[in-house]
Structure 1
Amino acid sequence: MGLFGFMETKVKARRFSKVFGKEWSIVTNYSAHNSGRIWLTWLPSIFSVSSCKVGVQYIHTLVTHRASMKSFWVTMVYGLNDASEREKLWEQIFDLATSISEPWLIAGDFNNILNLEDKLGSPCTIAEVKKFRTCLRSNDQMDFNTGGMFFTWNNKQEGRDKVCTKIDRVIVYRFWLSIFPHFSAEFLPEGLMDQSPCCMKLDNQIGNVRKPFRFFNMWTEAPDFLEIVKDAWNCSINGTPMFRVKVNSDPTNEDLLKQEYEARAEYAKAHQNQNGEMINAPDKIAETFVSYYQKLLGSDEGEVMDIHTEVIQAGQVLSESQKHAVIRPFTENDVRNAL
C-alpha cells in the first residue's frame, strides 16, 4: 500500500508536522478549510502526484503508478453535512469532469446516500438521492461494486435506535476498468470507529495466485513440530461482533438485527467478571469462568464425618421389595409407560 486518503483527522495545521513522518508525501485541504478535513498521502517510491486542486470538500490530483507508468485521476471527497453545501460538491465534480480524458477514481465520504436501501433505521426520500444520482449519470460515472461491509457508517446505538447508512463510496469514470480490469475495493469492519475504512487494490490478482498445499512427511521429524501445530491451532482470532450474525446478507431484516443485538449483549456478558468489569485477556477469561462455577457449585468443605447406620435406620428407609424394584433392569413396557 502506498496511497492513503484520510477524512476528519481533527489535526490542527500547527500540529501537522508532529503527526506525519518524513518518508511520506502529503496534500491537505488546510488552505480551503482550517480543520484540514481531507489528507491525501503517498509513498514517492511507489506513486508520483501532480496537478493538485483543493477545495473544501475534495482534493483532486493526477497520480502515476511508477512501476506500471499508468496515470489516473484521484479525487478524495468528504461531503459537508449541509445538503445545500453538498450541491456545490456535485457542481464541482461536474466541472472537473469536463476537463478529464484519463481514468478517474472518486472515493470517500460523500455524506449522502445514493439509493433508498442505503439507509436503515431512519426514513429517507427520493429528494435525498436525486441530485447525487443526477451528478453521476450526467458525468458518465459508475458506482463501483465494492466488497465487504454494505453499510459504511453507524451511530453505535443498539436495537431500534440503531441507524446504518452507506455514505462512503468508490466511483469510477470512463476507461477505469479497461485500464485496471482487476481493480477491487473492500470496506472493512469499523472496529472502534463509526465508519468503515476502504481498502482498494489496482490489481487484485498480484500476489494472489492460488498454489496447491503440499505436506511433506519429513516435517513431522522436526523436534518441535507438534508444538508449532498446537500453537497455530490455539491462536486466538479477534473480530467485531458484526461477524457473529450475518446482518450484511439481509441488512433490512429486523430479525437479524435483533439477533445481532442479542449476540452483542451475550458477548459483553460473557466477558464480564463478578464485578461487572469487561475481561478480554484470554488468561483472565479462563479465571472468570472458573470463579463463576466455583460460586455456582460451591467449594470443597473438606472431610465430612460418616453418618452412623443407626441414625439412617431411625428414619424412613426402603423396604426389601422397593430396593429390588429400584435396581431391577427396565423393560420395553417400562419405557412405553414412562412416555
Structure 2
Amino acid sequence: MTGCFGCWNVRGTNLRPKQEEIKNVIRSNNLSLFVILESQVRFDKLQGVCNSIYGNWMWISNHEYSNKGIRIIIGWDPEELVVMPVDSSDQVMHCKILFIKDNKRFFASFIYACNYHMDRRRLWYDLEKHNSIVDKLPWLIAGDFNVTKELIDSTAGGSVLSRGMVDFNECMNNIERQDLNKNGIHFTWNQRPKKNNGVLKKLDRVMGNFKFFEEFPNVFVNFQPYRNSDHSPMVIKFPIKKKFRIRPFKFVNAIVLKDDFLSTVAKIWNTPIEGFDMFRLCRKLKMLKGPLRKLMASQGNYSGKVQKCREELDRVQLELDMDPFNCEIQNEEGGYCKLLSKPEKKKRVI
C-alpha cells in the first residue's frame, strides 16, 4: 500500500457534481492529502464546501489573497499527516509535511499560477526566494502553472518559445527542479475540442529537487482523465505503507423502495437468536448488512451507474489524449461529460 496525495484544478467547486468527483478521486486512490485549485468558492461558503468534501479532515486555504473566490485549498488526514503552513500568496501555498508513521518530512508548494505571464513573474520570484529557505531539504512542487514548458506540450503548434515559457524555464533552472516520473495523460488541460478547433496543453506538473528524489526514489505521479473538469487530477504516490481501513456499511434510503426490501428484512428479523434484547437486536442488524448489499447490487443502484459512466469517460479521454482531433471521440467525450455532470435526483422517503 502506498501513501498518496492528490492535486486537481476543479473550477466551480461549489457545484455538487464537482464535489462528488473530488470525493470519488480521494476514495478511489486512497488519498491522505488533496489540494483543490481554482475552487472559486466564496469565503462564506468555504466551511460548508470543505465539510462536504473533506469530512473530518483538516484543511487550510489562501482565502486572504482571494478576492473573487478562493484559489487554493489543502485538506489532509490528521491521522496520517501533519501539515504546517510556512507561507502563502495569491498563487502558491508553501507548507511542511510530516508522515506520522514513518517520521519522514519534506517541503511542499502547491501552485495555481495567474493567466498573464507578467503576473506569473511574482510567482517565479516567490519560488526562487523560497528555494533559499528550503536549502538542501526535500521539496515537492505541484499544481497548475498555466504555461507550457516545451513546444510539444501543446497541440496548437508553434516554433519558438513564448516569453512566458522562457520565464518558466529560467525559474526551474535557477531552483534546479525537474519533473517526477509520470504516467497517464500527457495533455493535462483541454479547451473542449470541437471540429478541430480545440486546444490541448500540458499545464499541470509535479516536480522535485535532488534531495526529494534522493529521499523518495520511487515516487511517481499519475495524470488521470479529467472527467467533468478541464484539467487532469494529479495523483502522487509515495512508497509508504498505510493502515488498512474497513469501509463502514451505509444505508441508502432508496433501498426501502426495492420490491424485495420488506421480505429480506422479515427473513432476517424472524431468525431466532438467543440472548438479551440488545444483543439480539445488534446481531440481527449485522446479519442484515450482507443481504441488503446484495439487494442493491442485484436490482441496480445509482452509484453503480455513475461509476460505469466514469469508467467510460476515462476510456474516451485517454483515447482523446492520443488522438486530439478525432471528431468521433470528441462527440463521445462530450456526451459522457454531460451525463456525468447531471446532479443526482434524490427520492424522499417518509
CA separation of 1:60 and 1:156: change in aligned 2, threshold 3 A: same
For residues 41 and 48 of structure 1, the distance between their equivalents in structure 2, rounded to whole angstroms, comes to 11
For residues 26 and 245 of structure 1, the distance between their equivalents in structure 2, rounded to whole angstroms, comes to 31
For residues 27 and 84 of structure 1, the distance between their equivalents in structure 2, rounded to whole angstroms, comes to 27
Shift in Å, 1:244? 4.7
Aligned: 1:113 with 2:143? no
Count residues in correspondence.
247
Shift in Å, 1:29? 0.6
For residues 118 and 128 of structure 2, the distance between their equivalents in structure 1, rounded to whole angstroms, comes to 16
Report the counterpart of residue 23 of structure 1 in structure 2: 56
Report which structure shows greater RCO (CA 8 Å, sep ≥6): 2
For residues 245 and 10 of structure 1, the distance between their equivalents in structure 2, rounded to whole angstroms, comes to 25
Shift in Å, 1:147? 1.1
Report the counterpart of residue 330 of structure 1 in structure 2: none
Pick one of 243, 251, 261 that aligns with 2:315. 243
Instruction: State the Cα deviation string for residues 77-115 of structure 1 (Å, max 9, x = none).
Output: 000011101011111100000111311000010001011
For residues 57 and 267 of structure 1, the distance between their equivalents in structure 2, rounded to whole angstroms, comes to 31
The answer to whether the Cα contact below 8 Å between 1:159 and 1:257 also exists between their aligned partners in 2 is no
The answer to whether the Cα contact below 8 Å between 2:137 and 2:211 also exists between their aligned partners in 1 is yes
- The gaps in structure 1 that reach 5 residues or longer are 208-230, 272-276, 279-339
State the secondary structure of the residue aligned to 1:52. Answer: strand
For residues 224 and 176 of structure 2, the distance between their equivalents in structure 1, rounded to whole angstroms, comes to 27
Report the counterpart of residue 90 of structure 1 in structure 2: 124
Q: Which has the higher helix share?
A: 2
For residues 148 and 205 of structure 1, the distance between their equivalents in structure 2, rounded to whole angstroms, comes to 23
State the secondary structure of the residue aligned to 1:120. Answer: coil
State the secondary structure of the residue aligned to 2:228. Answer: coil
Report the counterpart of residue 289 of structure 1 in structure 2: none
Aligned: 1:261 with 2:327? yes
The answer to whether the Cα contact below 8 Å between 2:190 and 2:201 also exists between their aligned partners in 1 is yes
CA separation of 1:242 and 1:85: change in aligned 2, threshold 3 A: same
Report the counterpart of residue 129 of structure 1 in structure 2: 165
Give the alignment's TM-score, normalised by structure 2: 0.63
1:287-302 to structure 2, matched below 5 A, reads none
Give the alignment's TM-score, normalised by structure 1: 0.64
Structure number with bigger Rg: 1
The answer to whether the Cα contact below 8 Å between 2:181 and 2:219 also exists between their aligned partners in 1 is no
State the secondary structure of the residue aligned to 1:8. Answer: strand
Partner amino acid for 2:173?
R
- The gaps in structure 2 that reach 5 residues or longer are 1-30, 244-297, 299-303, 340-350
For residues 41 and 65 of structure 1, the distance between their equivalents in structure 2, rounded to whole angstroms, comes to 15
CA separation of 1:2 and 1:265: change in aligned 2, threshold 3 A: closer
What do you get for the CA RMSD once the two structures are aligned? 3.3
The answer to whether the Cα contact below 8 Å between 2:144 and 2:203 also exists between their aligned partners in 1 is yes
The answer to whether the Cα contact below 8 Å between 2:85 and 2:95 also exists between their aligned partners in 1 is yes
Partner amino acid for 2:61?
T
